[in-house]
Structures are given as structure tokens and as C-alpha cells.
Structure 1
Amino acid sequence: MARFRWTSPLAQVIAVGFICFCCPGMFNALNSLGGGGQVDSKVGQNANVALYTCFAIFGLLSGAIHNKLGPKWTIFIGCSTYVLYAGSLLCYNHTQAGAFTIAAGGLLGVGAGMLWTAQGAIMMAYPREKDKGKFIGYFWAIFNCGAVLGSVIAFAINFHVTEVKSLGDSTYIVFIVLMAIGTLIALSLVPPSAVTHSNGDRIQIQEFPTWTGEIVAVMKLFLDWRMIVLIPMFLSSNWFYSYQFSTVNGFYFSTRTQSLNNIFYWFSQIGGSWTFARVLDYQGVNRRTRALWGLAVVTVCFVCTWIGGVFFQRTYNIHDSMGNHDFKEGASYIGPLFLYMFYGLNDAAWQTYCYWLMGALSNDVAVLSRYAGFYKCIQSSGGAIAWRINAVKAPFMTELIICFALLAASIPGALFLSLRIKDHSDDVSGVDNVGHKHEIMEKADQKSEYPV
């Protein structure tokens, strides 16, 4: 049996998965209830606008922060803001202090930018090229188990609540404790320079230049054609959350049914990411072919699902009663549940594909941290706009059409890049992610796997 090594790439990615299980996973469970579990969803919606606005700004800057501080402190600081945000919702239950919750949402945007940039760099840079999809699948499965557990907790605590009602204090307290645990796990992460593969090879890392040099490198991403063509895909990748969580789940279903729906939603994400990642890592064809296969799969999936969403959305509108549908309705509940599950599956496949495409462009931790920060910047800009549209009570069908149109607009750019994907990443050094020529790496890959 292989010796356990905390400094192995897989161990570090799994550790980050458990950190995100506790922090973003629990946040997703809260956020997918609509309004953070509050009856007055406007406060939660405005907190999300603040969150994604700050996320967009600091997502872009977080690549430089990560490259200077390293993953341990970048993730630790980021995780601490999740605890603060959950605490603000607990406070709101007693004080109705919406300003505190909105401010906490803004701070969470700063922290989330740091956390997700570091996470993206680790997930894309630590594995060998042939295993990038597998590592993304590992991470996404563990991370979304957190949202599943959070939804189970919310469902269990609120099982007897049939009307629309704010979550109780006990639910928020459980989430705060779990987020605090994830924050502490971050302190166990090792620096990239200490991470080694089973044969002793190290991860490729560019030396941190200067703050000015780092910022210039980040800003040059806006001139990089590979990032430019992916902007529509990045923009759309979180845009639909406000529609799915607030307009569909938050408005249509009762409180306890929202929690039940989220169990299936996040569980579908686990299956969607894991299965799709295996397709992207299939070694029987070259990487360009896998990129095209992946794009075809996500395109067919989202088109079929969102057409189904159009038919469902025609059954209710913003003027109807809120939260009057419960899982105990029986057969009439099954159709909307399956639609919501496919929304989750599509989200996982879409984001897995985004990360895989970026991971196919480089193997360097510093470079990929900038890519991840750029991705989160554009993604969060879309999220901020979408949550604002939701907060001002736009017609539900209008929200859906915008989501659908943005997803469709992403396809040409993704296709343009997919046709130009190479079998090996072109890094500045001309070497692979562990410092060897590609021919040497191919031999090493045949001899070793990834013992943790």
C-alpha cells in the first residue's frame, strides 16, 4: 500500500476540497434557499449584489495576493469571511440589521475571491496533464458534498415547517461551526514548493516578480485572446444562480421543500462533474478532440434543460403566491424536481469544462492563479448583475431568457479555443509542470500514479 504523503498533489487537492466542503459548500446550501434562508429575500439578494461586486474586483487581484502569500494564508483569510457572513444572518434573525448582512456580503466577496483563486490554481496546476479532469472531479465531488450536507441539515431542522419562514438560529449555528472547521483546516496546507509527485518531481512555479510586475501580468489577461474568447462563458457560469435559487427554488417551493430540492441539486452536481471529468481525461483521443466532445456534451445538456425550463416557467409568474408548493403534493412535484436537478448537473459540467480549458493552457501555479482570478472576476461580475436584476423584481421569464441567451453566446468562443487546444501546455519555460521535457514526462507517467 502506498505511503500517505500530505505533500502529494492529490492530498492537497483533497484538503482544499474539504475546506470548500465546509465553507463555500455550506454557503451554497444557504444561498440556494433564496435570500440566505430569510423570508425577506431582498436583504439576501442585495448582500449577493455586494458579494459578487467585491468578488469581481478582488477576484482579479487575488492572483497576485496568492502568488505572494501562498495558498495557506490566502485560503485562511478567505474562509474567515464565510464565518462572518453566516454570523450576520444569525444576527439578522434577532436585529433585522440588513446593513450588517449586506456589509458582510461585501467582505465575503473579498474573501471568496481569495479562496477561489487559490483553489483554482491548486486544482489546475498540481496534477499532471493527463489527470487534470480527474482532480477537478475529486474536488467538485468533495466540495458539493458540503452543500448536500448543508441542505440535509436545513431539511431536517425545518421538516415540520410547511409555510415560508426564515431559518432558525440552530441552522445558522451549525453552519457557522462547520465553516470555522474549514477555516482551521486551511492552516494545514503546505506551500507549492513543498508539493512533490510520487517520483520526487516538483510543481512548476514562477518566481514572484514585484507587485507592479504581478499586476501588469494580471492586466495583460485582458489582452490575451484565449481569455477574451472565454469571457462570455465565464460571465454566464454563475449568472443563472439568482434565477435558479431565488426565482425557481425560493419563490415556487415551501421552506422545507427548498432544502429537499437542494439535496438533489448539489448531489446532481457531484455526479455531473465526476462523470464529465472522466470524459475530458479520456486518453484514447487527443486533447483537442476531448475539448470538442466536452463542448458538444455541455451544449446539448444546457439546451435541452433550459427549453424544459421555459415550459415550466410558463406555469407561474411574479404575481402568484410565494412558496405554496410542497414535496408532499406527489406526482406534480416530480417534474419540477427533475428540472432543478438538471440545472445542478449542467452547472457542474459547465464549470468543470471552464476549469479544464484553463488547465489545458498552462501548468504553472502562478499563471493558473491569474487565470483563476480572471475567471472569478468575470464570473462574479455576471453574478452581481444577475442578482441585481433579481432584486429589482424583473419578470421571471425575462430572467430565464437572459440566462439562456448568455449560455448560447458562450459557445462560439469556447469552440474557437477548443479547436486550438494542444496536447501539451505551452509554458514560458518550455517544460511541463514538474520541470521535465514532455518526452520524459510521458515515461514518468507510465511508471507512477499518485499515491496520497
Structure 2
Amino acid sequence: MGDENGLPNSSPNHSIFRYNSPLVQVCLIGLVCFCCPGMFNALSGMGGGGQVDHTASNNANTALYTAFTIFGILGGGIYNILGPKKTLFIGCSTYILYAGSFLYYNHHKHQVFVVVAGGLLGVGAGLLWAAQGAIMTSYPPHDRKGTYISIFWSIFNMGGVIGGLIPFVSNYNRTTAASVNDGTYIGFMFFMAIGTVLSLAILHPSKVIRNDGSSCTNIKYSSVSVELIQILKLFGNWKMLLMVPASWASNFFYTYQFNNVNGVLFNLRTRGLNNVFYWGAQMIGSVFIGSIMDYSFKSRKARGLVGIIVVGLLSTAIWGGGFAKQLTYSHDDVPHRIVLLDFKDGSKFAGPFLLYFSYGLLDAMFQSMVYWVIGALADDSEVLSRYTGFYKGIQSAGAAVAWQVDSHTVPFMNQLIANWALTTISFPLLVALVVLAVKDDNKDEEGATKEASITSNRDISTTVDYPNKE
């Protein structure tokens, strides 16, 4: 049943396990990301895509993140036009091709296919993450976005945990092997195919009903002209400009951590084990920061500020530990003088392992914090899909640069300092954004929701109501 405009009835239904509830839909998008980007993260986390020579992987990742930059920014508009099912299905299918390209590379050592597959994955990832960002930030109740973000992040990163076990188990007896075996890539492709099919279970935001009876958006689908105009406006939006350093930094550090910490210091099987704990740490970090940003204070603005300060302090401590470790090795040591660590090496393994674990913890806390801030800027799916698309686009531009920086053998220490500086610069700008743009939660939920709705409607004033295409 629906109202005269074709929208679902807005009578309250307090069951959190409804198929059209925000919780169920956020869990579903978490499972999709568990299977696709979760497995991709495990593949990348081995360093060089599981290959001893990082050249093909670095070039593929450059193509990936260059395309991701464009389609990340455009992704929010494409999502508003196509809806979640088509957007996610197209995006997920490119992950299977990417894993398959490394299976091909294992036998033929021709990197052209890997690079092309990386570029296509950049298109698909831009679509997937724009959809994911819109769902994760707009479906939940406005005062529990941190909790829902942590739920998503935990499910998503379980993919990295399981994905890390695949190369660890399948290569357990190959401590001196150069590259992972075929079974590793086939395992990744299997999970990615499941995620692609599962994406068809995601509902359009107009069909997702919160417990108070409100829907996530009243817009059925947008138009190309409207989306292009709204996306262009983001480049002059002061809120988005304040987020540029955080966006740029948030994937920039992956290259250094995956290639030059995990990929350089540890042997093959231990890299897979490290990734189990790296992505497991992400689950812990997301729950911790989500709790702070939802429950620490009554005022939403205060919660945001405390969360940023906590992440900022931990960031300083963790990058400081990375700096101390980086003083002990360099590019020149890699070919001859570094003895690869195994998880059975005891105290020699413990310190570098703890550092890599801490990098995973920081990544989840940093990105969950940024998503919370984005989610606090609006409540409507239309607006937030554009905001998260912009975030992912700038993030991917930073990643594209980072992979090429590593390809040109920039000293490890320079890469670490660049990462540390970028994350540090982000914190005062995010503080300013919270102070200036985030409204306090000092009203009852209904009043706050209405206020957020007015803000969202102002942001999408040029959008019209079109017939539903999905």
C-alpha cells in the first residue's frame, strides 16, 4: 500500500528486522562490500596484488584510482539516476574481472590486461562506493549514524579478515614462494561473484522506512542535467573544500602500508595472516569511534569534536611509531639486507606486526569519523550520495598519486612523512567543519528530523520528482 504519490505508507513500524528497515539494508550493503571491496582489500593488502614484482599492481592501481576519481565524483549522480540495484550490480561485476586479471598474470606476465581491468574496476568502484556512501549515511536515524557506520564497517572488514585467510591457508607451505597460487585468486573471484548477485537485494531509498515512519528520500530518481549541475556546485561548496585534505589522505596511506610495510617486511604466508588482523583491527576501530560519536555526549556537535580529537591523538601516536620503525630500513635494504619476518619469529615479529595492526585500527577510525561528519551535514539520500561521491573521488585521486609515487621508488621515509602530514592537516579542518556546519541534537528527534529535511530540501531545490525507474 502507498499514498497517492506512490510512496510507502509512513505509519511507524518499530521492527528493526523488516526487510525495508535501515538496519537490514545497511547490513546487506555491508555483505556486498564484504564480498567485493573486502576481498579486493585482502588482495591489495598482500603487497603487489600477491606478486613479488609490484610493477603491474602499481600501474593497475594507478589506472584504477584515476578512473575512480572521475566516477567517484560522478557516482553520486549516477546513483540518483539508476538507483542502487543497477549501480551496485555494474560496480560489483568489475571486481571479479580484476581478480581474474591477476590469475591471468600468474601465467602470462602481461600487465596490459591487469592495467585495463584496474581501470574498469575504477569505474565500478566509483559506482559501488557512491551507492554505499548514500545508503550508509542516509538510511540510519540521524542520531545513530555512527552506530550504523560501525555495523557496516565491521561486516565489510570481515571480508578482509576472511580474504586474508585465503592466501595464508593456500600458501602456508610456500614461505619462499614469489607469488600467490591460482587458488588464491579463484577464491577471491568466488566471493566477488556472490557479492554481485547479492547487490540485487538492495532497496531504493524511497522504499526504506525508518522506525518513525519517514522514508530516506521522497525523490524517485533524478535527471542527468540536475545531477551535473549539483555535482559541479560541490567544487564551490565550502563544506566539501574543508574535507579535501581528509579525503585525499584517507586512501593515500594504503600504498605505503601495503607495499612498504606488509609487502617488504614479511614473508608471503605472514602477509596474509597480517591482513586478517589488519582488517580485524578495522572492526574494533569502527565500533570504538562509532560509540564515541553517537553516545559520548548529548550534543551532536560535542560528540563530533571529541571523536576528531581522539582520532587525532591516536593518529599522532601510531604514525610516530611508524616513523621509529622506518628509521631501521629503507629502499636500499630491500633487495639484500632485509630478512623477511615470519609469524613464528616471536619478538622480532611482534613489533612490526603490532604497528601494522595499529595502521588498520587508525584507518577504520579515520574513515568512520569522516563518514560520520558527512552524515551529519544532511539526512537526504540525494544530497548525501553526492557528498560521499565527492569524498570518494578526491580520495581516489590521492590514491592514484600514491601508487605512482611508490612506482617511482620515492624513499619510504618520504612517503611516511607525507602520509603523517596529510592526516594531521585534516583534523583542524574537520573541527572547523563540525563547528560551523553540524547542528546540535538538542531537540526531540522529530524536530531535528524536520530541520534536517528542510536543509536537505534546500540543497536539492532544483531536483524534480520523476517516475520510479527501479
TM-score above 0.5: yes
What's the counterpart of residue 266 of structure 1? 279
Task: Kindly indicate whether residue 346 of structure 2 is the aligned counterpart of residue 335 of structure 1.
Answer: no
- CA–CA distance in structure 1, aligned partners of residues 81 and 453 of structure 2: 25
- Select 2:170's aligned residue among 143, 157, 160: 157
What's the counterpart of residue 9 of structure 2? none
What's the counterpart of residue 361 of structure 2? 345
- CA–CA distance in structure 2, aligned partners of residues 321 and 411 of structure 1: 34
Indicate if the aligned counterparts of 1:79 and 1:182 stay in contact, CA closer than 8 A: yes
Matches within 5 A, 1:5-404: 5-206=18-219, 208-282=221-295, 284-321=297-334, 324-404=340-420
Indicate if the aligned counterparts of 2:341 and 2:348 stay in contact, CA closer than 8 A: no
- CA–CA distance in structure 2, aligned partners of residues 153 and 77 of structure 1: 25
Calculate the TM-score normalised by the size of structure 2. Answer: 0.89
- Select 1:422's aligned residue among 436, 439, 450: 439
- CA–CA distance in structure 2, aligned partners of residues 3 and 64 of structure 1: 29
What's the counterpart of residue 406 of structure 1? 422
Indicate if the aligned counterparts of 1:130 and 1:283 stay in contact, CA closer than 8 A: no
Calculate the TM-score normalised by the size of structure 1. Answer: 0.93
User: What root-mean-square deviation, in Å, do the aligned CA atoms of Structure 1 and Structure 2 show?
Assistant: 1.9
Which residue identity does 1:29 align to in structure 2? A
- CA–CA distance in structure 2, aligned partners of residues 69 and 106 of structure 1: 21
Indicate if the aligned counterparts of 1:205 and 1:366 stay in contact, CA closer than 8 A: no
- CA–CA distance in structure 2, aligned partners of residues 377 and 92 of structure 1: 28
- CA–CA distance in structure 2, aligned partners of residues 436 and 114 of structure 1: 25
Flag structure 1 segments of 5+ consecutive residues without an equivalent.
439-452
C-alpha distance 104-437 of structure 1, shift in aligned 2 (>3 A): closer
Shift of 1:283: 6.2
Indicate if the aligned counterparts of 1:298 and 1:346 stay in contact, CA closer than 8 A: yes
Flag structure 2 segments of 5+ consecutive residues without an equivalent.
1-13, 456-470
Indicate if the aligned counterparts of 2:380 and 2:453 stay in contact, CA closer than 8 A: no
Shift of 1:165: 1.6
Q: C-alpha deviations, 1:175-226, integer Å up to 9, x for none?
A: 1011000000011112111111234332224454431121110111111111
- Bigger mean CA deviation after superposition, 114-123 or 5-14: 5-14
Indicate if the aligned counterparts of 2:147 and 2:287 stay in contact, CA closer than 8 A: yes
Shift of 1:436: 7.7
Which residue identity does 2:289 align to in structure 1? F
Indicate if the aligned counterparts of 2:17 and 2:23 stay in contact, CA closer than 8 A: no
Which residue identity does 2:269 align to in structure 1? R
Shift of 1:128: 0.8
Q: C-alpha deviations, 1:95-116, integer Å up to 9, x for none?
A: 1120000100000000000000
Shift of 1:412: 2.3
Q: C-alpha deviations, 1:204-257, integer Å up to 9, x for none?
A: 244544311211101111111111111111110010000000011111111111
- Bigger mean CA deviation after superposition, 90-99 or 204-213: 204-213
Indicate if the aligned counterparts of 1:38 and 1:165 stay in contact, CA closer than 8 A: yes
* Poorly superposed stretches of 4+, deviation over 6 Å: 433-438
Shift of 1:329: 1.6
What's the counterpart of residue 444 of structure 1? none
Shift of 1:326: 1.6
Alignment size in residue pairs: 434
Which residue identity does 1:213 align to in structure 2? V
- CA–CA distance in structure 1, aligned partners of residues 426 and 342 of structure 2: 35
Shift of 1:161: 1.6
SS at match of 2:332: coil
C-alpha distance 433-353 of structure 1, shift in aligned 2 (>3 A): farther
Indicate if the aligned counterparts of 1:360 and 1:424 stay in contact, CA closer than 8 A: no
Q: C-alpha deviations, 1:115-168, integer Å up to 9, x for none?
A: 000000000000111110011000000000000000011111111121252110
- CA–CA distance in structure 1, aligned partners of residues 73 and 95 of structure 2: 19
What's the counterpart of residue 442 of structure 1? none
Indicate if the aligned counterparts of 2:141 and 2:210 stay in contact, CA closer than 8 A: no
Indicate if the aligned counterparts of 1:237 and 1:347 stay in contact, CA closer than 8 A: yes
Q: C-alpha deviations, 1:73-114, integer Å up to 9, x for none?
A: 101100000000000000111111200001000000000000
SS at match of 2:330: coil
- CA–CA distance in structure 1, aligned partners of residues 196 and 150 of structure 2: 22
Indicate if the aligned counterparts of 2:82 and 2:221 stay in contact, CA closer than 8 A: no
C-alpha distance 314-283 of structure 1, shift in aligned 2 (>3 A): closer
C-alpha distance 329-63 of structure 1, shift in aligned 2 (>3 A): same
Indicate if the aligned counterparts of 1:140 and 1:270 stay in contact, CA closer than 8 A: yes
